[in-house]
Amino acid sequence: MKKKIAVGCLALAATGATLLTSTAHADYKVIATNDLGMHCVCMGFDTFVLLPPFNTLRAQLIQRGSDPVPVTDGSRFKVTYDIVQNTEASLKADPYYQSWVTNAPKLFPGFNPKAANGNYQGLTGSQLRGEMTPDSQGAMWEVVGVPAYPDMSSNSTTAQKIMTDPLGGPNRNPYLTASVKAYDRATGALLAQTTTVVPAAFGGCCGCHLNVAKSYGYANPTPRDSFNVMGMLHAQNSSHINIATIDPDHDGVPGPIRCSQCHLDPAMGESVAPGYAGYAVSKYTFSDVLHRWHAQNSVVLTNYDPNIAKDCYQCHPGNNVNCYRGAHTSETINGHNVWCTDCHGDLNQRIAQGQMLQPWSDTTLPKCATCHSNTGEGGGYMEKRLFGKYLNSHGHYSEKILCSSCHGEPHALNPSAMAADNTQNIALQGLANPIGKCSVCHTNQGTSYGKPPHS
């Protein structure tokens, strides 16, 4: 029977027609999620970079039974991931990704975007496919820093290529697929497999800043023209630094630079901004300067967008990507839909409360408990120094099940408005809702059966 199922799964995978979640072994289930529900990435790296290709996947391998347990023994099990649409060939043919390959060593000295095996690798050494690392404290498997990139190749269907390219290039698929499989390390037997969404999208920066460059006289502005204008504007602030004149690699051509080199961004894994030789490091975080400047600058407010404090999609991926797509989008508070600012606050509020002085922190990110009671949020908490309570908390039995394993990725909570986000839960329990059927993990009514998931 097991063999039949495994053969069936292989046949399904071989057709390439679908990547539905399915189990290969009745005793195990694997549930995978992306950490944030969206990762922004720049569309070229010749001049400056806000965010590099960097994606993180988490998975929980559950050994089913009367009292199921998440297993993380790396000597017994192996959990693999594969970014389906991103291949070595597709990234080689992608001009934006190649811009990353060329400039990454200049942006991150010592980093080689190609691994020893010749494959592309992310900043942490993670490749497009490989093994996930067990994390016993988190009761999960994780791969950090996968260089997933919005796909323009024929590996994505036209229907998947929903993201507009502000620079006029072809549309891209921002919602990639990760195939996650768990194996018995000794026998190589496939124990469980699933798919999850790996979101990577362009922000809206270029859409507006090319227009800014136009207003400064660049008739058909390029990203470098835009960089030059931004540098000139940056020189008008208290730093008096024209960022478009910084030439870190001393090749005589300014750039490439990364903003977080001078403005601390904990999302880059740094606790202090490294700075550029000869330039002062800012005391303001990247999140703070970026948001505060746009929300408070009179030229922005009077010439571009007086609503920028609430207009999240001007900068965050809204270019038909609409990264906020989870269950909250169809929920209402007092008759109105829940918008980003209902959880995060608008920029005026976030600035006034100093939220962005500590970005990516559980002290400043939204908490479920603000609206929901008895969530168990904070249980089995992982000290990751990044992300909010939801992402790093565990609930259910022995506080070992990640909130996101059942409820989905932040911004894409189940049931999501986007079908791909629901695929995993539908495969596991026949419903797009958060995992709620005991039989997904419990084979019969053991001691933990029926235990409320949030207590």
Region label for 335, one of left (φ > 0), alpha (ψ between -120 and 50) or beta (otherwise): left
Q: List Cβ<8 Å contacts ≥24 apart for 217-223.
A: 223/44, 223/46, 223/47, 223/167
Nearer CB in complex with another protein: 313/449? 313
**Measured between alpha carbons, how far is 123 from 118 in angstroms, rounded to an integer?**
15
- Least Å distance, CB 321 to another protein, is 8
Strand partners, 199: 175
217 contacts another protein (rule: CB under 8 A): yes
238 contacts another protein (rule: CB under 8 A): no
DSSP labels, 301-318: HHHT-TTTTT-GGGTTT-
Site string for another protein, 261-300 (x = CB under 8 A): -----------------------------------x-xx-
Nearer CB in complex with another protein: 252/335? 335
Which of 37, 44, 145, 166 is close enough to bind another protein by CB under 8 A? 166
Q: Which residue's structure tokens are 């400056």?
A: 48
**Measured between alpha carbons, how far is 117 from 195 in angstroms, rounded to an integer?**
26
240 contacts another protein (rule: CB under 8 A): no
307 contacts another protein (rule: CB under 8 A): yes
For residue 388, CA distances in Å to 34, 50, 401 come to: 14, 21, 16
Which of 32, 123, 139, 309 is close enough to bind another protein by CB under 8 A? 309
Nearer CB in complex with another protein: 89/352? 352
CA atoms within 13 A on the CB side of 265: 18
Stretch that binds another protein, among 32-40, 209-217, 273-281, 375-383 (CB under 8 A): 209-217
For residue 250, CA distances in Å to 54, 106, 276 come to: 26, 10, 12
Stretch that binds another protein, among 16-24, 163-171, 185-193, 361-369 (CB under 8 A): 163-171
Which of 76, 216, 354, 437 is close enough to bind another protein by CB under 8 A? 216
239 contacts another protein (rule: CB under 8 A): no
- Least Å distance, CB 168 to another protein, is 5
214 contacts another protein (rule: CB under 8 A): yes
157 contacts another protein (rule: CB under 8 A): no
245 contacts another protein (rule: CB under 8 A): no
219 contacts another protein (rule: CB under 8 A): yes
Nearer CB in complex with another protein: 46/311? 311
Intra-chain end-to-end CA distance of the chain, in Å: 37
351 contacts another protein (rule: CB under 8 A): yes
Q: Which residues contact 363 (CB under 8 A, 6 or more apart)?
A: none
**Measured between alpha carbons, how far is 122 from 392 in angstroms, rounded to an integer?**
23
DSSP labels, 212-273: HHHHTT-SS--HHHHHHHHHHHHTTSTT---GGG--TT-SSS---EEGGGTS--GGGT-SS-
Please say whether the beta carbons of 321 and 163 come within 8 A.
Answer: yes
Nearer CB in complex with another protein: 162/191? 162
Nearer CB in complex with another protein: 268/351? 351
Please say whether the beta carbons of 20 and 13 come within 8 A.
Answer: no
User: For residues 215-236, b (16+ Cβ closer than 10 Å) or e, as one string?
Assistant: eeebeebebbbbbbbbbebbee
Strand duo 257-258 + 48-49: pairing: parallel
225 contacts another protein (rule: CB under 8 A): no
Nearer CB in complex with another protein: 354/436? 354
Site string for another protein, 167-206 (x = CB under 8 A): xx--x-----------------------------------
344 contacts another protein (rule: CB under 8 A): no
Which of 252, 335, 450, 452 is close enough to bind another protein by CB under 8 A? 335
Which of 251, 336, 373, 383 is close enough to bind another protein by CB under 8 A? 336
- The pair of structure tokens assigned to 147 is 């260089």
Judged by the rule CB under 8 A, the positions of this chain that interact with another protein are 162, 164, 166-168, 171, 207, 210-211, 214-217, 219-220, 296, 298-299, 301-303, 305-307, 309-311, 313-314, 318-320, 322, 332-337, 339, 345-346, 348-349, 351-353
